[in-house]
Structure 1
């Protein structure tokens, strides 16, 4: 076999492999229009309301809040850890920063305005924002993603949350499954 034929076969094989890889990547990352990326994330949110170093603090409340079974009118500021597992000592991947308020007169539900800021891997410096009702007593529950920055710029999507552990003195650990839709940065 001549060198020219061997070189031609090698070029054809490399081209076929690259075409297959590009098709697989396009299929996994883009929708039918070819201009969106779908990202899925799994992490745990640690809202620590008690103990020596709380990560959630009540900053305001209505006059009747303490008489309400749902704490209606309470407003809480948070800076909570995001980890890869439910154990608070598992790898930290970011912070949830924002606020939530008790918005239910008769059932415990929160209105949440929170940015989830990532500090690890390719998502370091990227964030997405959630603005939604969080019906804490339901599991699972769905919340809306309304924007983002970095790799999640112009994100839209949803969060499926499940309470892993909770008590009134310590706080809560919540598992988050997130699906984000974003525009591709490079066409």
Structure 2
């Protein structure tokens, strides 16, 4: 009997502590350890510069169309979806040193002009950020001189990242659709 009373008391104490924590912080709340938390005043700014090579033509494309546009004669490609695993390099030449991959998709999302919804992970494979990623999600109008897309997060060295990416078309082949795009990415992390 005494053993059962002790167990009941322990159970009641644990449940009370859990309930109190949920009242204070809400269900599912947990505090991050200091190793995973960075205060706003300690956020580090980083600028990354690289070239993105989107190849849709040839025998080994880095981007493939998985859904065609709703109207095949559309100049805006509305409804088209492409999946990409594009190389990122230090310079505009595709043979220059690799710094990572842009993995994600872009889709024709504008009926009036050429405008894509682009979502991609910038997977860095060299240098001090090797193994880290940045997540970019936004509107990309390839015929505009400078496009800006938000950086919405990251992993590794870029955990809790926020910022923006600026894209400028360096080279575009209107016949094939292949392009080289210069990126400047500014993040706080």
Q: TM-score range by the shorter chain?
A: 0.7 to 0.9
Larger Rg: 2
- Counterpart of 2:61 in structure 1 is 54
The secondary structure found in structure 2 opposite 1:65 is: coil
Residue deviations 1:15-73 (CA, integer Å, cap 9, x gap): xxxxxxxxxxxxxxxxx9532010000000000010111000001135x3313111110
Aligned mates of 1:167, 1:59 — CA distance in 2 = 21
Decide whether aligned partners of structure 1 residues 101 and 33 sit closer, same or farther in structure 2, where only a CA change above 3 A counts. closer
Aligned mates of 1:136, 1:65 — CA distance in 2 = 20
Aligned length: 150
Does 2:111 align with 1:115? no
Does 2:51 align with 1:44? yes
Q: Once superposed, which parts of structure 1, at least 4 consecutive aligned residues long, lie more than 6 Å away?
A: none
Residue deviations 1:73-112 (CA, integer Å, cap 9, x gap): 0000000000000000000010000111011101001101
- The alignment's TM-score, normalised by the length of structure 2, stands at 0.76
In structure 2, stretches of 5+ residues that fail to align are 1-38
> What is the correspondence of 1:1-187 to structure 2 with a 5 Å cutoff?
34-62=41-69, 64-168=70-174, 169-182=176-189
- Counterpart of 1:10 in structure 2 is none
Aligned mates of 2:149, 2:177 — CA distance in 1 = 23
Aligned mates of 1:145, 1:33 — CA distance in 2 = 17
In structure 1, stretches of 5+ residues that fail to align are 1-31, 183-187
- The alignment's TM-score, normalised by the length of structure 1, stands at 0.77
Deviation at 1:170, TM superposition (A): 5.0
Question: Could you say what the CA RMSD is over the residues aligned between the two structures, in angstroms?
Answer: 1.4
